[in-house]
Amino acid sequence: MKHVTMLAAALALGLGAAAQAEEKFITIGTGGQTGVYFVVGQSICRLVNRGTAEHNLKCTAPSTGGSIANINSIRAGDMDMGVAQSDWQFHAYNGSSKFEEGGAFSDLRAVFSVHPEPFTVIARKDANIKTFDDLKGKRVNVGNPGSGQLATMEVVLAAKGWTMADFALASELKPAEQAQALCDNKVDAIIYTVGHPNGSIQEATTSCESNLVAVDGPAIEKLVNENPFYSWATVPGGMYTGTDSDTATFGVRATFVSSASVDDETVYQVVKAVFDNFDRFKKLHPAFEILKEEEMVSAGLSAPLHPGAERYYKERGWVQ
Ligand code: GLU
C-alpha cells in the first residue's frame, strides 16, 4: 500500500514537472485600467487559466496604451493577442490612415468582436459645451498616445478641417487621470471611446457637474457613410448623472485580434475558453450583456479570421 502511494506521488511529481515544462505563456494587450479593454483581457485570461491543466496555456493581460499600442505590440511579436477598435483593425490590415507609413500589417488576424464603443464627449456644465463644435477654443483631453481614441479623434478633426491647435489645450492624459482633470477644472471636456457603462465616465459625471455631448453633423455623417467600421451610436439617457436624454454620436466596435504567426492551437484554445463559458464571460462586465456569439464572429471584423478561431466557429456552425 505504502509503495503504491509513493509510486503515485512520484508519478504526480513527474507529471507536474512535465506539465510545467510545456506551459506556454500568452499575453493579451488591453488598455487603461479604468477602461473596458482591461476587463476584456482579464476576463479572457481568467477563463483560459481555468483550463491550464488541459491545454498548458498561461494567460496574462497587462494594462497598455490601447488599440494602436496593442496592434504594434502584436506586429512586433511582443504580444500574442490584443483588443483594438474596428477602425484601427481595418487601417492596420490595409496600411491606411495612421498605418500608411509603417505599411500594411498583412499578418493581422481577427479573432472576434466584442462590445460597441461610442465616441463619447463629456464636458463640464460650466463650460457651456452643447455640441462638438463648441469644443473649439476649449481645453480638451484628447487621449493618451497609443490609444485608439486619440487616433480616432485625429480622424474626426481632419474630417472637420480642424487641428489640435483649434483647442486652447489638447492634453493627452490617460483614461485613469481624465475624470479628475475634468473635475479639477484642468480641462473643459474629455473624450473617451469606450464601452458603456464605464467607471471613469461615472466618476466624471458624479464628482462634478458634467454632461455628455452629441457628436453629429455633416462631417460625422460623411465618416459614417463612407466607412464600414463606423456606425451611429447612442448613449442611453439616464445611464450617467446629468444626462437624462439619449446622446447621439458615432462609434466603433471593440475587436479581439492576433497575428498569423500565433499558432492555430493557441488561438483555438483561447476562443474555446471564451465561447464554451460564454454565460460566465458575459457576466464579467455590463457592456458584455448584449453580446451574441454569431454576431461576434463577423461584426466589425475586416482582417481575415485567424484559422484557429475559424476552426472553433465551424465546429459550432457559426461560419461555413
Ligand atoms: N477604445 C480605447 C482605445 O482603443 C480603449 C477603451 C478601453 O480601454 O476600454 O484606446
In three-state form (DSSP H/G/I as H, E/B as E, the rest C), the secondary structure along 40-67 is HHHHHHHHHHCCHHHHCEEEECCCCCCH
Which pLDDT belongs to residue 256?
Answer: 98
| pLDDT tens track for 97-130 | 999 999 999 999 999 999 999 999 999 999 999 9
* Residue 125 Cα to ligand 1 middle (Å): 25
Locate the ligand 1 atom nearest the alpha carbon of residue 36 and give its number: 9
| Residue that finishes a domain, picked among 224, 252, 280 | 252
* Residue 244 lies inside a defined structural domain of this protein: yes
* Residue 306 Cα to ligand 1 middle (Å): 22
Which pLDDT belongs to residue 22?
Answer: 81
* Residue 35 Cα to ligand 1 middle (Å): 6
Which pLDDT belongs to residue 293?
Answer: 97
Locate the ligand 1 atom nearest the alpha carbon of residue 31 and give its number: 8
- Which residue lies with its CA nearest to atom 7 of ligand 1? 35
Pocket lining for ligand 1, CB < 6 angstroms: 31-32, 35-37, 66-67, 85, 117, 147-149, 193-195
What whole-number distance in Å separates Cα of residue 18 and Cα of residue 58?
15
* Residue 303 Cα to ligand 1 middle (Å): 19
- Which residue lies with its CA nearest to atom 8 of ligand 1? 35
- Which residue lies with its CA nearest to atom 6 of ligand 1? 194
Is 299 in the same domain as 269? Answer: yes
* Residue 10 Cα to ligand 1 middle (Å): 48
Listed as ranges, residues in the chain with pLDDT below 70 are 1-21
Which pLDDT belongs to residue 20?
Answer: 54
Number of domains the chain is built from: 2
Which pLDDT belongs to residue 166?
Answer: 98
Candidate of 33, 40, 67, 174 to mutate for ligand 1, largest count of ligand atoms within 8 Å of Cβ: 67
* Residue 294 Cα to ligand 1 middle (Å): 23
* Residue 305 lies inside a defined structural domain of this protein: yes
Q: Domain with 103 in it: what CATH number?
A: 3.40.190.10
| Residue that finishes a domain, picked among 217, 252, 287 | 252
Which pLDDT belongs to residue 2?
Answer: 41
What whole-number distance in Å separates Cα of residue 87 and Cα of residue 89?
6
* Residue 308 lies inside a defined structural domain of this protein: yes
| Residue that finishes a domain, picked among 252, 275, 294 | 252
Is 54 in the same domain as 147? Answer: no
* Residue 297 lies inside a defined structural domain of this protein: yes
Domain that holds residue 32: 23-115+254-316
Locate the ligand 1 atom nearest the alpha carbon of residue 175 and give its number: 8
| pLDDT tens track for 39-85 | 999 999 999 999 999 999 999 999 999 999 999 999 999 999 999 99
- Which residue lies with its CA nearest to atom 3 of ligand 1? 148
Is 79 in the same domain as 135? Answer: no
* Residue 279 Cα to ligand 1 middle (Å): 23
Is 273 in the same domain as 232? Answer: no
Contact 187, 179 (CB under 8 A): no
